[in-house]
Amino acid sequence: MSEQNKNELEYNPDLVTLSDDEGKEYTFEVLDAIETDMGRYLALLPTYDDPQKMLDDSGELVIVKVGEENGEEYFYEIEDDDEYETIADAFVDRLEDFFEIDNK
């Protein structure tokens, strides 16, 4: 087996499952993480079992802030617009080299 094929077989995305207020669960792939003086953040992309749902998805990143309580990590929405814009811009700058991102 060539080295390239071996690496392709070993790809294991970092997945997280989040629940909404109604208890519905969604699975996301962690694309990147950033740590700043404001905190730690993750850029997530929704994953789907159904390929058609994946094609229909907007491809928009979901950005969450990582918190810790009693030794457990949890994720929550960024409520401050300026904080969100700063972090979103940082992720776009980092990820646009690896993915085609239309940031219009």
Does residue 86 belong to any structural domain of this protein? yes
The residue type found at 61 is: L
Token pair 């949890």 in the structure block, residue: 74
pTM: 0.72
What domain range is 70 assigned to? Answer: 12-95
Does residue 100 belong to any structural domain of this protein? no
Does residue 36 belong to any structural domain of this protein? yes
Does residue 1 belong to any structural domain of this protein? no
C-alpha span between 32 and 88 (Å, rounded):
11
- Domains of the chain: total: 1
Does residue 42 belong to any structural domain of this protein? yes
User: What are the contacts of 42-47 at 24+ separation with CB within 8 A?
Assistant: 42/16, 42/66, 42/75, 43/91, 43/95, 44/16, 47/13, 47/15
Per-residue pLDDT reduced to its tens digit, 50-104: 777 766 766 678 999 999 989 888 899 999 999 999 999 999 888 777 765 555 5
Residue 66 token pair? 């990582």
Residue 10: pLDDT band with limits 50, 70, 90: low
Token pair 């928009």 in the structure block, residue: 60
Residue 2: pLDDT band with limits 50, 70, 90: very low
pLDDT of residue 78: 94
